[in-house]
Each structure stands twice: as structure tokens, then as C-alpha cells.
């Protein structure tokens, strides 16, 4: 199977562009895996649609994406910052 190309929605691109270099590298590594296996066993369907999926790339990065016509389109990039939390474990 040929790798999928990657595209970002405007909001996801803004979130991507605001990442620190180390988080950006994690994002790129995760996407490199997903372009060859967009339905990775750790991803899960969202919104009741097999083509729209979500996956935690790391403990701090989560994406929702859609697979369509050889493209993997990142819809949402969520960055979880655990610097300040209300309740410590």
C-alpha cells in the first residue's frame, strides 16, 4: 500500500505550528507511522465513522483525523499540558 499524504485543517495547522521542537518531532514521528497504517490498532473510530479516527500519539498529543482518497487529514490536534493541574495524583 502506498503511503497516504498528510494535510491539516487551519486550526490543526495553527496548533502544529505552535508546538515546541520536541513535541513537533513526536507529531512527525506519529504521522510517519499513520501514513502507512492509518487504521492503526491503537486508533479508534470517532463519530460512528470508520474513516474518522482518533489516536493518542503520546501522553501529550492527541489527534482526530479522517482518511479519504489517499489523504490523512488532521482535523484536530490537542496538546495536553500537565504543567498545572487541579488535583495531583
Q: How confident is the model at residue 79 (pLDDT cuts 50, 70, 90)?
A: very high
What percentage of residues in the chain have a pLDDT greater than 70? 98
Q: Note the pTM of the prediction, 2 decimals.
A: 0.88
Enumerate domains of the chain plus CATH numbers. Answer: 5-79 (3.30.2310.20)
List pLDDT tens digits, range 10-43.
999 999 999 999 999 999 999 999 999 999 999 9
> Across the chain, what does the average pLDDT equal?
92
Angle at 49 (CA atoms; ends 47, 52), nearest 5 degrees: 80
The pLDDT of residue 61 is above 70: yes
Amino acid at each position: 500500500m502506498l503511503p497516504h499524504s498528510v494535510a491539516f485543517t487551519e486550526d490543526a495547522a495553527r496548533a502544529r505550528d505552535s508546538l515546541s521542537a520536541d513535541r513537533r518531532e513526536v507529531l512527525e514521528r506519529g504521522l510517519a507511522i499513520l501514513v502507512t497504517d492509518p487504521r492503526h490498532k491503537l486508533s479508534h473510530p470517532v463519530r460512528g465513522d470508520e474513516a474518522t479516527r482518533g489516536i493518542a500519539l503520546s501522553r501529550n498529543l492527541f489527534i482526530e483525523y479522517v482518511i479519504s482518497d489517499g489523504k490523512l487529514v488532521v482535523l484536530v490536534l490537542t496538546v495536553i499540558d500537565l504543567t498545572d493541574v487541579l488535583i495531583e495524583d
